[in-house]
A and B are shown apart, each in its own frame.
Chain A
Amino acid sequence: MAFINIQNLTYQYPTSKAPVLKNINLQIEQGEFVAIVGPNGAGKSTLCYALSGFVPHFFKGELSGSIEVAGRQSSQSTLSEWVLNVGLAFQNPFNQISGAKYTVFEEVAFGLENMGVPRTEMQVRVEAALQLTGIADLAQRSPYSLSGGQQQRVALTSILVMRPKLLVLDEPTSQLDPIGAREVFNTIRNMAKDGTTIVLVEHKVEWIANFADRVVALKAGQVLLEGKPSEALTSDLLAEQGFGLSRYTSTAREAKKQGLWKKDTLPVTLDEAVEGFKQ
């Protein structure tokens, strides 16, 4: 049995006129790092909310089909139980600050306090999490005094310190500089190696190609295709549908038309492109 099992999921917000997710079927194994790609309005964020229990527990609306994580059905669980297994961080970092804490250290501890983690363990876990995401130097700053990029790291740290089995991240690096984003991806990659399952919505295709195990492409609420990054991200289908592609892929596709790319498969990473163009 897969760790995440989504079957025939169809969902409509109370205010929307048509379903936002349509008959989604998706299985994800424990420790897998899955990237969700797709144009604006494809339903990526809604899928994140569905995995993290906010759809339908928080947003209400009509849901059919089932969502199962770690052997439990979302419909059979309450939101407050669900969030102990599934962590969610989303795009706007400012609104993820609790507003009840004076320092970053305390902000990160907020979730652990709510979970009832003993104080000494809390200290250790917060320190480790701050180290992991590279913001130990911000520990005593006020969360409000930080830049958007720094706040985004605080929001991510505040969730991963809770050690969820599934981590759902909706564009967690949108405000980070490229090297900061790479550090965050490395952190997430390592967590996946340690057994945390990762579902990540991301526009940066090159990062996905380098870090993710699998890509799921959504379009208009449906799964358009899924597969390994090297296959999915080079698919003609994505190119035709106007998805963002890595420059390596689009350039090699153009080169192939001119007879300048000899291989059958197209590259998504720098290494693959170097290898192919050397021929």
Chain B
Amino acid sequence: MNITIQDLRFTYPTGLDALKGISLNIKSGEQVAIVGQNGAGKTTLVRHFNGLLQPTSGSVIIGDWDTQKHTVAKLASRVGYVFQNPDEQLFSKDVLTEVAFGPKNLGYASEKINALVKRALALTELSAETETNPYDLSPAWRKMAALASTIAMDTPIVIFDEPTTGQDAANVGRIANVIAELKKAGKTVITITHDIDFCAENFERVIALSKGQVLLDGPVREVLAQEEILAQTYVDPPQLTRLGKRLGWPEPIGTQQEFLQALSRRQPKQA
């Protein structure tokens, strides 16, 4: 399901121009990271994807639906949204009920709900906590529960807002795994993140926003190698990209594997 954004502008009631003409196409099944400084408009932009915000001018089309013609609850069948703070949505007596809430709202048959919930809990490694009250989980695991409750909705598009904040390396790995599984299932994943290494390792395309406009948009390695331009929106390139550059290598490096390949190509053949 494609997302088509045309000349999107948004002004908050306070008069703040948060988005100043954004046009984008996100194709079905793409893995997109959105980066940029605090206040660049990242959250404002993705809140338009499920109708939480309506354009001041321009349009956002999800598949064949104009977001201005459908309610948020309706758009929820196409766009799942994982909020930053899990405490602003958890309310059920146990994790199982919590995760089933979204799919139930979407009116799926009960067998389908059971299967989706089971899969979401397995992906987030919460299967052993089905009967736990969400508020008895640690903040980091509450965040995983909120993530599970959105992916259980089985929407073609999933949005994550800063999924890795406050998470340790193990949970960041779990989130990366969830994103990989969503990709396998053909889902579109859109993630706002400050964690640029996470971005380099898990996404194909990066959009850098600055002051309500698209600063850079393209394949992850090319975008994240633009050190000077990224600095305008307060983003540092990933660690290994910087390392490759400091070593004077011309090709953009994103992941450890790419780095090691580039390194071995440069090693003189051992006699």
Q: Say whether A and B bind each other.
A: yes
A: residues with CB less than 8 A from B are 38-41, 91, 145, 147-150, 171, 174-182, 203, 206, 242-248, 250-251, 254-255, 258, 260, 270, 273-274, 277-278
Q: Within 8 Å CB of B24, what residues of A?
A: none
Q: Within 8 Å CB of B240, what residues of A?
A: 247-248, 251
- Contact A178 to B243, CB < 8 A, known contacts A39-B170, A41-B138, A242-B169: no
Q: Within 8 Å CB of B234, what residues of A?
A: 177-180
> Are B239 and A270 in contact, with the CB atoms below 8 A?
yes
Task: Tell me the bound Cα distance from A212 to B37 in angstroms.
Answer: 25
Of all chain A residues, the one with the shortest Cβ separation from B165 is A174
> Are B260 and A40 in contact, with the CB atoms below 8 A?
no
Q: How far is the CB of A219 from chain B (nearest CB, A)?
A: 11
Given contacts A175-B38, A277-B247, 6 further A-B contacts (CB under 8 A): A39-B168, A41-B138, A174-B165, A203-B169, A251-B243, A270-B242
Of all chain A residues, the one with the shortest Cβ separation from B143 is A40
- Contact A179 to B170, CB < 8 A, known contacts A40-B140, A251-B240: no
Show 26 A/B contacts (Cβ-Cβ < 8 Å), sorted by A. A38-B168, A39-B170, A40-B170, A91-B166, A147-B39, A148-B38, A149-B39, A150-B39, A174-B166, A176-B194, A178-B194, A179-B235, A179-B236, A203-B168, A206-B239, A242-B170, A247-B240, A247-B243, A247-B256, A248-B239, A248-B240, A248-B243, A251-B259, A254-B256, A254-B260, A270-B239
Q: How far is the CB of B248 from chain A (nearest CB, A)?
A: 9
Task: Tell me the bound Cα distance from A182 to B37 in angstroms.
Answer: 13
Q: Within 8 Å CB of B264, what residues of A?
A: 258, 260
Determine which residue in B162, B166, B168, B263 has the highest number of CB atoms from chain A within 10 A of its CB, and name it. B168
Chain A CB within 8 A of B229 CB: no
Q: Within 8 Å CB of B256, what residues of A?
A: 247, 250-251, 254
- Contact A247 to B238, CB < 8 A, known contacts A254-B260, A255-B260, A258-B260: yes
Q: Within 8 Å CB of A181, what residues of B?
A: 194
Task: Tell me the bound Cα distance from A176 to B193 in angstroms.
Answer: 10
Q: Within 8 Å CB of B184, what residues of A?
A: none
Q: How far is the CB of B211 from chain A (nearest CB, A)?
A: 13
Q: Within 8 Å CB of B246, what residues of A?
A: 270, 274
Task: Tell me the bound Cα distance from A175 to B236 in angstroms.
Answer: 15
Chain A CB within 8 A of B167 CB: yes
> Are A244 and B169 in contact, with the CB atoms below 8 A?
yes
| Contact count band on B | 35 or more
- Contact A177 to B38, CB < 8 A, known contacts A39-B169, A244-B172, A247-B197: yes
Of all chain A residues, the one with the shortest Cβ separation from B42 is A177
Of all chain A residues, the one with the shortest Cβ separation from B169 is A244
> Are B194 and A177 in contact, with the CB atoms below 8 A?
yes
Task: Tell me the bound Cα distance from A181 to B260 in angstroms.
Answer: 29
Q: How far is the CB of A45 from chain B (nearest CB, A)?
A: 9
- Contact A175 to B165, CB < 8 A, known contacts A260-B260, A277-B263: yes
Chain A CB within 8 A of B127 CB: no
Task: Tell me the bound Cα distance from A175 to B39 in angstroms.
Answer: 11
Q: How far is the CB of A161 from chain B (nearest CB, A)?
A: 21
Q: Within 8 Å CB of A40, what residues of B?
A: 138, 140-141, 167-168, 170-171
Q: Within 8 Å CB of B39, what residues of A?
A: 147, 149-150
Task: Tell me the bound Cα distance from A13 to B209 in angstroms.
Answer: 44
> Are B260 and A179 in contact, with the CB atoms below 8 A?
no
Of all chain A residues, the one with the shortest Cβ separation from B197 is A247
> Are B36 and A274 in contact, with the CB atoms below 8 A?
no
> Are A177 and B168 in contact, with the CB atoms below 8 A?
no
Q: Within 8 Å CB of A243, what residues of B?
A: 168-169
Q: Within 8 Å CB of B235, what residues of A?
A: 177-179
Of all chain A residues, the one with the shortest Cβ separation from B240 is A247
Chain A CB within 8 A of B122 CB: no
Q: How far is the CB of A90 from chain B (nearest CB, A)?
A: 11
Q: Within 8 Å CB of B239, what residues of A?
A: 206, 246-248, 270
Q: Within 8 Å CB of A175, what residues of B?
A: 38, 162, 165
Q: How far is the CB of B96 from chain A (nearest CB, A)?
A: 22
Q: How far is the CB of B73 from chain A (nearest CB, A)?
A: 26
Chain A CB within 8 A of B231 CB: yes
> Are A180 and B243 in contact, with the CB atoms below 8 A?
no
Q: How far is the CB of B35 from chain A (nearest CB, A)?
A: 8
Q: How far is the CB of B259 from chain A (nearest CB, A)?
A: 6
> Are B247 and A180 in contact, with the CB atoms below 8 A?
no
Q: Within 8 Å CB of B171, what residues of A?
A: 40
Q: Within 8 Å CB of B260, what residues of A?
A: 251, 254-255, 258, 260
Of all chain B residues, the one with the shortest Cβ separation from A182 is B236
> Are B236 and A178 in contact, with the CB atoms below 8 A?
yes
Q: Within 8 Å CB of B242, what residues of A?
A: 270
Of all chain A residues, the one with the shortest Cβ separation from B172 is A244
Task: Tell me the bound Cα distance from A134 to B168 in angstroms.
Answer: 28
Q: Which of B145-184 contact A (CB under 8 A)?
A: 162, 165-172
Task: Tell me the bound Cα distance from A244 to B172 in angstroms.
Answer: 9
Q: Within 8 Å CB of A258, what residues of B?
A: 260, 264
- Contact A180 to B138, CB < 8 A, known contacts A243-B169, A248-B243: no
